[in-house]
Structure formats: C-alpha cells, structure tokens
Amino acid sequence: MMRIVLGIEYDGSGFYGWQWQTHHRNIQQTLEEALSKIAQHKITVQCAGRTDTGVHALEQIVHFDTTALRDLQAWHRGTNTHLPPDVRVIWAQEAIGDFHARYRAIARYYRYTILNRTTPSALMRGRSTWCALPLDAHKMHEAAQILVGHHDFTSFRAQGCQSKSPCRRMYFIDVERIGEQVIIDLSANAFLHHMVRNIAGVLIAIGTGKQPVNWTQELLEVKNRRLGGVTAPPDGLHLAGVYYPKQYGLIKNPIFNKLPTDAQRFD
C-alpha cells in the first residue's frame, strides 16, 4: 500500500462544496472518480479542510492510499485528463512517514479577495466579492490585528458550527490594497465554520466606515454571533495553502515564513 499526496486547485463556483453529496456536484466525488480511473480501483481521498459551496482553492492538500503502482506523472497529468476544467492536480508526491492531510496540518492559509470599484467585473465574477463603496484598507488592517493570537471566536463562527471549542489561534491577518482589489490574507491553526467569511464581513463594515475600528475588539469580548454583522459572500474566499512540519517534505508557501516558531498542530 502506498500513500500519495496531491496539491489541488479548483474554482468552486460550479460546486456545492468539497464533501460528497448524492444529488449535487462536489469536488471530492469529481476527484475520486478521476483518480479511480488511473488506479483502476476505488480511491477515497482525505483533504486538509473541507470548503463550502462557491469557495475556491489555490492549493488544497489531499492524500489517498492505493495498491496501484503508478509513477507520479500518472497521478498528476494523467488524473487531469479525467478532470473537468475547473479542477486541477498541480503536483503529486509520495507521502513521507505518518503524513495525513488533515491531522498533520499545523496551519491553514486563506485569502479573501474584494473587488473595490463602482462597477462589478465580468471577468472576476464568482472569483472575488464586489464592494462598490470605498474601502479603507489601512483601517481594516488595523482592526484585524486584534484578532491575532489565541481567542474565543464565538462572534465569528456560524450559529450551526459543530466544533467543540470556539477557540482558535490566529497566526497572522494582513489587509492590503492592490489597485482595485483589497486582499485579506489570514492564517490560523484551524478555522471555525464561516469564520473567514464572518471576519471579512466585519472588516468590510469597518472599511466602509459603517463600524469603528475597535468593533473587532468589541465582538471578541461580547462572544455573540448575532451581533457580528453579515457573513461575506463565498465568491472571494480561497483556501490558499496548508502548512505541515518539515519532515513531511511538502512544498512550502513563502507566506508561512510569518508563522511563529511555536506554531503547533491543532487537536
């Protein structure tokens, strides 16, 4: 038995999220069916983190076990020949040691992209969230810094979130303007359901001047999702990378250089 690790890129616009669903198009089923054709036996994949309907991935990490002897190009390029154009394997390698895509991850990195201009885009439709009101990225960045560290994120998780604990450690969160786009980059040991989209909704309200900069502090303290404002749309949300300990030999996104040296796996 061999364990293979893949980096996956997908446009989530045409999917009802990652997870298997009997009557809806989903990424997990799409990928497993393509891999099964290469392996010539049923493949089941494990991912680093499930994404919701409409959410994209710049680099989702998955692994699977197989008895099929194939070279890495078969798992990479061969699988792509059986995938639709909105899903792609971007690299493949053999797993080292006890690697597990979910349980060995130390940090996840998300990017939320906002198109900030008076007119929506025909080209970025579904890939970014449109905001017509002017956004002050400096105020958004300032407000975001209070979220860095270990906190109770009750005000920032979906009411139906099933996680046992609302506490997470935010490693970094940066907001910057690049032309007409405002980019929110954030990384934590794990994320609660809708946590990134709720944070984005709060920061957008601050950026437009509807709420003060200290609103993030108030929401952390009140621990009440009903006071946390709107959930931002999924269009601008991308799972951008996953970080693992060095011994697993996976390609490292340079943004993870921002992680603290004591970053540890979340259980």
pLDDT at position 21 is 84
Q: For residue 138, give Cα distances in angstroms to 141, 143, 177, 210.
A: 5, 9, 9, 15
pLDDT at position 250 is 87
Q: Which of 192, 212, 194 is nearest to 203 (CA)?
A: 212
pLDDT at position 172 is 96
Task: Indicate if 136 belongs to the active site.
Answer: no
- What is this structure's pTM? 0.93
pLDDT at position 266 is 62
Q: What is the pLDDT along the chain (267 residues), one digit of tens a residue?
A: 899 999 999 999 999 999 988 889 999 999 999 999 999 999 999 999 999 999 999 999 999 999 999 999 999 999 999 999 999 999 999 999 999 999 999 999 999 999 999 999 999 999 999 999 999 999 999 999 999 999 999 999 998 888 889 999 999 999 999 999 999 999 999 999 999 999 999 999 999 999 999 999 999 999 999 998 899 999 999 999 999 998 999 877 788 888 887 777 665
CATH topology of domain 2-104: Alpha-Beta Plaits (3.30.70)
Q: Which residues contact 254 (CB under 8 A, 6 or more apart)?
A: none
Q: Which residues contact 124 (CB under 8 A, 6 or more apart)?
A: 115
Annotated catalytic residue within 11, 52, 98, 185: 52
Asked whether 116 and 180 are in contact (CB, 8 A), the reply is: yes
Helix (H) or strand (E) holding 205: helix 195-207
Report the C-alpha gap between 137 and 140 in whole angstroms. 5
pLDDT at position 85 is 97
Domain ranges (residues) in the chain? 2-104, 107-239
pLDDT at position 267 is 53
What number of residues does the chain have? 267
Residue with tokens 């108030």: 218
Report the C-alpha gap between 205 and 163 in whole angstroms. 26
pLDDT at position 9 is 97
Instruction: Tally Cβ neighbours within 10 Å of residue 15.
Output: 25
Report the C-alpha gap between 46 and 28 in whole angstroms. 9
CATH of span 107-239 = 3.30.70.660
Asked whether 206 and 140 are in contact (CB, 8 A), the reply is: yes
Q: For residue 220, give Cα distances in angstroms to 149, 229, 263.
A: 12, 13, 22
User: 3-state DSSP call for residue 118?
Assistant: coil
pLDDT at position 100 is 97
Phi and psi at 216, nearest 5°, equal -60, -40
107-239 matches 2-104 in CATH topology: yes
Report the C-alpha gap between 159 and 181 in whole angstroms. 30
Asked whether the CA dihedral 163, 9, 198, 171 is positive or negative, the reply is positive
One DSSP character per residue, 76-116 reads IIIHHTTS-TTEEEEEEEE--TT--TTTT--EEEEEEEEEE
